[in-house]
Structures are given as structure tokens and as C-alpha cells.
């Protein structure tokens, strides 16, 4: 079978190679996962698959989307759980509060915008000019073009959700009112912000994932899939030029081992629970 392997960590993306490897055989207490589509944002990788036991019987993560919608199934888990945990588990966002969400048209940000909007929060999204209509269409009440507009003009917020880091994280901290919360998924904050910003790494949560999948099935939540590529193009999907071209949106991508499903995934709103 084919797999994308990394034999030289120091080589980075250039070290990714499409290789033929032996089909795995499960020993006692092993689980074999059959991957139908793998999705990634710039912060991580996620998989949509089924599990095979030693007798060859297949089962799977039943909260995932129907396999007819594998691109969405690959895009939802990490992005969806990250958005939920950032907004509600760490920031404790409440109805009527104002939240600033960076990368509002991206994999994590787009889901965060929808969840915050449904809660009844006032949502300010950020990104580049080309992201404006997408962010507003997902439920953002206002949009800040980080290349043109002054972020400071967004005004005070109760919660800031950072997916960019660096100077944007620093400037966002100044907008969070007393008693508010700044959360980031990029990395631990600098010493100056250590007592003001919360850095977290997403944690598995089967029950919450089932809830997110139900929201997709009912049409209340729509993951964004920027592109679907075959496994043979996995390396080029990670290349810096493509990453920088899409960084502001950060939308999830899916790698399909068998075929190209199209530039923009269009899936039925059915979910298998």
C-alpha cells in the first residue's frame, strides 16, 4: 500500500516521500486504522477512517460524518474540537459577550465564528480582504482586514481567540477588557503575556465530537474544506508557497488516497452517528 513517510525530520516538507510499504498486520491488542481521507490545518493533522480488528471486521469512529462525505469527516475533528474548547472550555464565552476571532474563514476560525454566533455572542472576525464575505456569511457581525484595517479599531472584547500568534497576539491582548480572556493555539505566550493569555492543545472528546457531527447533519455547522488532493500531492499541499498563499484563511485540506474529489468539497448534510 502507499503512504506518505518522513525519513529525515530535519528536511521538513522536503523529506516527505510517497512510498510503497507493506500492508500492516495486527498483533494481539493492535488496532489497524483504514484512512479514507486525512485533513490538516496548519496546526495539525486529522484523520477520517475505520478500524479493523484481528478478525478483519471493520468498525469506526461513529461520531464522524458519513463516509460519503469524507472530506468533511477529515476536516471536522481537530478544527471543531479546537474551536469549541477554545471558546467554551477555556474562554467561557457567554451569550451577549463580544468575541474577536482571528482567521475567521479558516479551519478553526470558521467553526468558532459559527459556534459563537449561534450562542448569541457578537462576533468580530479577522483575516484578509478575500475572507470578508466568507466570515460575514458564517455569522460574523464585523470584519477586520489585518492587511488594511487597524485591529485596535475593533474596540474592547470579552474574548479574543488567536490562531496567528506573534504581533497579532500582542495587539489582541490590549483589546481584551478587564476580566476577559485571551486564548491562543499557536504556542505558549511570552513572559509579558503569561498571566493574561491561555495557551491550550486540543484534547480528544468523543461526546463533543458527536455533538459537532450532529450540528453538521442538521445544517447548523458547516466546516470549510479549502481543497481536496490525492495522496500523491501531499507534499505540495504542505509547501511554503501554498501555505503562505492560504495562511490567512487556514482552511482545512483533505488528502484522498484514491482520487481528487474537487477543488471545493461539496458534501451532503448527512452524518452517521
Structural domain spans, the chain: 2-77+205-256, 83-199
Which range of 39-43, 117-121, 215-219, 235-239 scores highest in mean pLDDT? It is 117-121
CATH 1.20.1560.10 is right for the domain spanning 83-199: no
pLDDT at 42 over 70: no
Cα separation of 162 and 235, whole Å? Answer: 27
Helix (H, G, I), strand (E, B) or coil at 106: coil
Which helix (DSSP H) or strand (DSSP E) does residue 101 occupy? strand 98-101
- Which pLDDT belongs to residue 188? 94
- Which pLDDT belongs to residue 149? 97
**pLDDT band (50, 70, 90) for residue 57:** low
Q: List C-alpha distances in Å: 82 to 70, 71, 161, 189, 236.
A: 19, 18, 11, 18, 25
- Average predicted confidence (pLDDT) for the chain: 80
What nine digits make up the cell of 168? 497579532
Q: Which residues contact 14 (CB under 8 A, 6 or more apart)?
A: 235
Place of cell 485533513: 39
- Which pLDDT belongs to residue 11? 80
Averaged pLDDT for residues 35-62: 54
- Which pLDDT belongs to residue 233? 82
pLDDT at 4 over 70: yes
Which range of 70-79, 160-169, 256-265 scores highest in mean pLDDT? It is 160-169
Cα separation of 43 and 163, whole Å? Answer: 9
What nine digits make up the cell of 39? 485533513
CB contact at 8 A, 125 and 101: yes
- Which pLDDT belongs to residue 239? 66
**What fold does the segment set 2-77+205-256 form as a domain?**
Quinone Oxidoreductase; Chain A, domain 1 (3.90.180)
What nine digits make up the cell of 144? 477586520
- Which pLDDT belongs to residue 19? 86
pLDDT, tens digit (0-9, with 9 covering 90-100), for 148-185: 999 999 999 999 999 999 999 999 999 999 999 999 99
Cα separation of 41 and 88, whole Å? Answer: 21
pLDDT at 219 over 80: yes
CATH topology identical between 2-77+205-256 and 83-199: no
pLDDT at 131 over 70: yes
Amino acid at each position: 500500500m502507499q503512504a506518505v513517510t518522513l525519513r529525515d525530520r530535519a528536511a521538513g516538507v522536503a523529506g516527505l516521500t510517497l512510498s510503497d510499504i507493506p500492508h500492516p498486520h495486527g498483533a494481539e491488542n493492535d488496532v489497524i486504522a483504514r484512512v479514507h481521507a486525512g485533513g490538516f490545518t496548519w496546526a495539525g493533522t486529522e484523520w477520517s477512517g475505520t478500524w479493523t480488528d484481528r478478525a478483519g471486521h471493520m468498525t469506526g469512529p461513529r461520531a464522524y460524518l458519513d463516509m460519503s462525505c469524507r472530506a468533511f469527516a477529515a476536516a471536522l475533528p481537530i478544527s471543531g474540537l479546537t474551536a469549541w474548547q477554545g471558546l467554551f472550555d477555556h474562554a467561557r464565552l457567554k451569550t451577549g459577550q463580544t468575541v474577536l476571532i482571528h482567521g475567521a474563514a479558516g479551519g478553526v476560525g470558521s467553526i468558532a465564528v459559527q459556534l459563537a454566533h449561534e450562542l448569541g455572542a457578537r462576533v468580530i472576525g479577522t483575516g484578509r480582504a478575500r475572507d470578508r464575505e466568507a466570515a460575514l456569511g458564517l455569522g460574523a457581525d464585523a470584519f477586520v482586514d489585518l492587511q488594511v484595517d487597524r485591529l485596535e479599531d475593533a474596540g474592547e472584547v470579552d474574548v479574543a481567540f488567536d490562531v496567528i500568534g506573534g504581533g497579532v497576539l500582542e495587539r489582541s491582548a490590549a483589546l481584551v477588557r478587564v476580566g476577559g480572556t485571551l486564548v491562543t493555539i499557536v504556542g505558549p505566550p511570552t513572559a509579558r503575556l503569561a498571566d493574561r493569555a491561555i495557551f491550550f492543545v486540543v484534547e480528544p472528546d468523543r461526546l463533543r465530537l458527536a455533538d459537532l457531527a450532529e450540528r453538521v447533519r442538521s445544517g447548523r455547522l458547516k466546516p470549510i474544506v479549502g481543497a481536496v488532493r490525492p495522496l500523491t500531492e501531499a507534499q505540495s499541499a504542505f509547501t511554503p508557497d501554498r501555505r503562505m498563499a492560504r495562511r490567512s484563511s487556514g482552511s482545512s485540506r483533505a488528502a484522498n488516497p484514491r482520487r481528487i474529489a474537487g477543488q471545493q468539497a461539496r458534501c451532503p448534510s448527512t452524518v452517521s452517528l
